[in-house]
């Protein structure tokens, strides 16, 4: 939430910062602003609304050219999305400019103290106090970095701060507690950003910032200290994707590109984890086999789409390993005093690796002595750094706010973890594991085939653009798929959408069915678990008898559903547990097309932000 960029070097800071903000706009788009140091002073511009409003403002009122600058794109927390509340915030002398991501919890107290000392604050934000505090501290200490350390020690909450001061024209200072901040190191230039995407066009050389650290950026180098001023150990790394991966690549939306990338993302997530003999090798899981054998419970914590992948993982984990598995919304987890100990394996699933609810849940789990394994897509992010082990999904950068390829790769990672647990605990034979791995290796091709047959799904979506409600039904692993289909539709098409376990229908939700109501039904394979299949075919008949328009997602060759489907979407035959990998794809396409047909912003749905760094 909120995107931050800082730059010092020899290029035009405004150009670098604006290009960086464009890449970070997915993190928030309520307002945007920039500040540059030039001609011995500080110049700033900010505008409510999307970045394009700021771009227009800069055409009407250009800023002077300078080579040190900062920028911000906002997801509003304290104070509405107005010009006044947009970042950067300045002190009364207009010397210091600050941008911020997170929430400063004690801002009201600090604000009152500042007012008493004669400061005039002009916004409703929690951030503005920092500009004033920095100005006060800098007047009495050696440099801006020291002033930042002093200020940070007085702040409570979660914050990433980046600041400049006209008295130090070649310096940008950043600070990090709980919210993300990455350093980019170039030749004679340096960058700060919430996400490497902001500077990937300039350098792939990055440094992870740790918790409670302050960084000082100069053209010739970067200095990192703790809030206490002690030099900090830095962890440099190379970003393993390039600027092209963060471009739309000819697609109208990032979401379309990311849906299309799914076969590759799935294949990349399997890569290197299967040896020549087809055996599973998860070297990254640094929790020892002996410890994993001792585990008597698995608890999965995650939010939103990642939570849905966890719900599906439960079926695989319990079926393949016979260990009880609970799945919990990370935002609820620590507040109900969960029972955890050293025999609990907690799996934290997160695309961004920065979701505050998930981070807080894993911290709570570790405090109680549980081991935490992260499944994450973002190298160097906080959740893997604070976990005992990490299994990275290799989806590549996911820019669209609605998660697609990350979801499929989270599923693949969950299946791998489930198989691995089965392997070390001896609940699965080697040949059984190899058989599932073979099936997983074929999934990329199956997703490819689904993608090739999506035109009727798009046409159907367009025809439903005037509807208010769509329901989604599923059973077994199809139930979380139904939840995911409903979530995608809510966030993208702004329609009322709900997912139900089809068996629950008769316990209440069936009262919602009325003439021509679109109901999407995810049908399990007719093979193997045919009882489940037969039950859902009955559910389809029940809703159809009450007037619903049935949109049925069923395996190729499943003839039993044909008579009851007003619209039939075919998916390739897969083993039951792996079906979500193909059944979710039409639902992503459906939601994307409905959003487009309703004139909504596909990549940046209203009120949302990609990386949710507040609780
Ligand atoms: C929905 C979506 C969100 C995220 C959720 C968790 O399309 O993207 O529901 O899945 O905010 O985010 P991560 O995975 O970054 O922890």
Per-residue pLDDT tens for 84-126? 999 999 999 999 999 999 889 999 999 999 999 999 999 999 9
Active site (catalytic) residues: 2, 610
pLDDT band at 188 (very low <50, low <70, confident <90, very high): very high
CA angle centred on 59, ends 57 and 60, rounded to 5°: 65
Do 254-441 and 451-597 show the same overall fold? yes
Per-residue model confidence (pLDDT) at position 280:
87
Per-residue model confidence (pLDDT) at position 202:
96
Best of 397, 403, 404, 487 to mutate for ligand 1, by most ligand atoms within 8 A of CB?
403
Q: Which atom of ligand 1 is nearest to the CA of 401?
A: 8
Spatial contact of 336 and 437, defined as CB atoms under 8 Å apart: no
Per-residue model confidence (pLDDT) at position 178:
83
Report whether pLDDT(79) > 90: no
Report whether pLDDT(553) > 70: yes
Per-residue model confidence (pLDDT) at position 529:
58
Mean pLDDT of 154-160: 93
Spatial contact of 13 and 36, defined as CB atoms under 8 Å apart: yes
pLDDT tens by residue, 416-454: 999 999 999 999 888 999 999 999 999 999 999 999 999
pLDDT band at 528 (very low <50, low <70, confident <90, very high): low
Per-residue model confidence (pLDDT) at position 609:
81
- Beta-carbon contacts of 252 under 8 Å, excluding residues fewer than 6 positions away, are 602
Q: What is the mean pLDDT of the chain?
A: 94
Q: How far apart are CA 302 and CA 405, in angstroms?
A: 16
* CATH 3.40.50.10490 for the 451-597 domain, yes or no: yes
What CATH number belongs to 3-246? 3.60.20.10
Distance in Å, CA 406 to ligand 1 centroid: 9
| Cis amide bond preceding 279, omega within 30 | no
Q: How far apart are CA 461 and CA 450, in angstroms?
A: 16
Q: How far apart are CA 503 and CA 539, in angstroms?
A: 8
Q: Which residue's C-alpha comes closest to atom 9 of ligand 1?
A: 304
Domain boundaries, the chain: 3-246, 254-441, 451-597
79 or 217, greater pLDDT: 217
Question: What are the DSSP calls for 287-324, one per residue?
Answer: S-HHHHHH--EEEEEE-HHHHHHHHHHHHHHHHHH---
Mean pLDDT of 580-585: 98
Best of 329, 355, 483, 486 to mutate for ligand 1, by most ligand atoms within 8 A of CB?
355
Query: Which of 80-84, 429-433, 476-480: highest mean pLDDT?
Result: 476-480
Q: Which residue's C-alpha comes closest to atom 7 of ligand 1?
A: 402
Per-residue model confidence (pLDDT) at position 230:
96
Q: How far apart are CA 184 and CA 191, in angstroms?
A: 5
Distance in Å, CA 407 to ligand 1 centroid: 9
Kindly state the tokens that stand for 468: 């208010």
Mean pLDDT of 467-474: 97
Spatial contact of 612 and 26, defined as CB atoms under 8 Å apart: no
pLDDT tens by residue, 485-512: 999 999 999 999 999 999 999 999 999 9
Q: Which residue's C-alpha comes closest to atom 6 of ligand 1?
A: 303
Per-residue model confidence (pLDDT) at position 488:
98
Pocket of ligand 1 (CB under 6 A): 303-306, 350-352, 355, 358, 402-403, 487, 491, 612
Q: Which atom of ligand 1 is nearest to the CA of 612?
A: 11
Q: Which atom of ligand 1 is nearest to the CA of 410?
A: 14
Cross-strand pairs, 578: none
CATH superfamily of 254-441: Glucose-6-phosphate isomerase like protein; domain 1 (3.40.50.10490)
Output the CA–CA distances (angstroms, integers) from residue 615 to 178, 193, 355, in the order listed.
11, 21, 8
3-class state of residue 368 by DSSP: coil
Predicted model pTM: 0.86
């Amino acid at each position: 939430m909120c995107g931050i960029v800082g730059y010092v070097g020899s290029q035009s800071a405004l150009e670098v910062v604006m290009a960086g903000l464009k890449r970070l706009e997915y993190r928030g788009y309520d307002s945007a602003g920039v500040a540059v140091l030039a001609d011995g002073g500080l110049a700033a511009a900010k505008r409510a609304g999307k970045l394009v409003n700021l771009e227009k403002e800069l055409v009407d009122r250009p800023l002077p050219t300078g080579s040190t600058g900062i920028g911000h794109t906002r997801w509003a927390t304290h104070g509405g999305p107005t010009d006044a509340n947009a970042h950067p915030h300045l002190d009364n002398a207009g010397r210091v400019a600050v941008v911020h991501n997170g929430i400063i919890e004690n801002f009201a107290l600090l604000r009152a103290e500042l007012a008493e000392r004669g400061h005039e604050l002009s916004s409703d934000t929690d951030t503005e106090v920092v500009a004033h505090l920095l100005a006060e501290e800098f007047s009495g200490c050696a440099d801006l970095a020291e002033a930042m350390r002093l200020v940070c020690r007085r702040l409570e909450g979660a914050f990433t701060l980046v600041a400049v001061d006209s008295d130090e024209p070649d310096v940008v200072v950043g600070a990090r507690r709980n919210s993300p901040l990455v350093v980019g190191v170039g030749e004679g230039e340096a960058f700060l950003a919430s996400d490497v995407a902001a500077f990937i066009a300039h350098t792939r050389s990055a440094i992870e910032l740790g918790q409670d650290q302050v960084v000082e950026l100069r053209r010739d180098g970067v200095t990192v200290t703790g809030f206490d001023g002690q030099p900090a150990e830095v962890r440099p790394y190379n970003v393993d994707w390039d600027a092209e991966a963060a471009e739309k690549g000819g697609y109208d939306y990032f979401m379309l590109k990311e849906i299309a990338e799914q076969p590759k993302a799935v294949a990349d997530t399997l890569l290197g984890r299967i040896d020549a003999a087809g055996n599973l090798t998860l070297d990254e899981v640094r929790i020892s086999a002996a410890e994993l054998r001792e585990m008597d419970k698995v608890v999965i914590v995650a939010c939103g789409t990642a939570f849905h992948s966890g719900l599906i993982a439960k079926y695989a984990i319990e079926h393949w390993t016979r260990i009880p598995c609970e799945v919990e919304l990370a935002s609820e987890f620590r507040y109900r005093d969960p029972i955890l100990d050293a025999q609990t394996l907690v799996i934290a699933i997160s695309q961004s690796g920065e979701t505050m609810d998930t981070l807080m849940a894993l911290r709570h789990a570790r405090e109680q002595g549980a081991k935490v394994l992260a499944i994450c897509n973002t190298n160097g992010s906080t959740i893997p750094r604070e976990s005992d082990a990490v299994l990275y999904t290799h989806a590549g950068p996911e820019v669209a706010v609605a998660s697609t390829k990350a979801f499929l790769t989270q599923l693949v990672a969950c299946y791998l973890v489930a198989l691995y647990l089965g392997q070390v605990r001896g609940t699965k034979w080697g040949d059984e594991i190899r058989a599932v791995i073979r099936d997983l290796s074929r999934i990329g091709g199956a997703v490819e085939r689904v993608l090739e047959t999506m035109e009727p799904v798009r046409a159907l979506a367009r025809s439903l653009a005037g509807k208010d409600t769509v329901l989604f039904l599923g059973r077994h692993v199809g139930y979380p798929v139904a939840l995911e289909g409903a979530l995608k539709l809510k966030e993208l098409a702004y329609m009322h959408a709900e997912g139900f376990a089809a068996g629950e229908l008769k316990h209440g939700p069936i009262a919602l069915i009325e003439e021509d109501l679109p109901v999407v039904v995810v049908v399990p394979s007719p093979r193997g678990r045919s009882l489940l299949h037969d039950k859902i075919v009955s559910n389809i008949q029940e809703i159809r008898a009450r007037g619903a328009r049935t949109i049925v997602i069923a395996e190729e060759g499943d003839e039993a559903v044909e008579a009851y489907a007003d619209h039939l979407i075919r998916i390739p035959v897969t083993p039951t547990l792996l079906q979500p990998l193909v059944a979710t794809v039409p639902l992503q396409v459906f939601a994307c097309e409905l959003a487009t047909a309703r004139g909504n912003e596909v990549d940046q749905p209203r009120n949302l932000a990609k990386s949710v760094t507040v609780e």
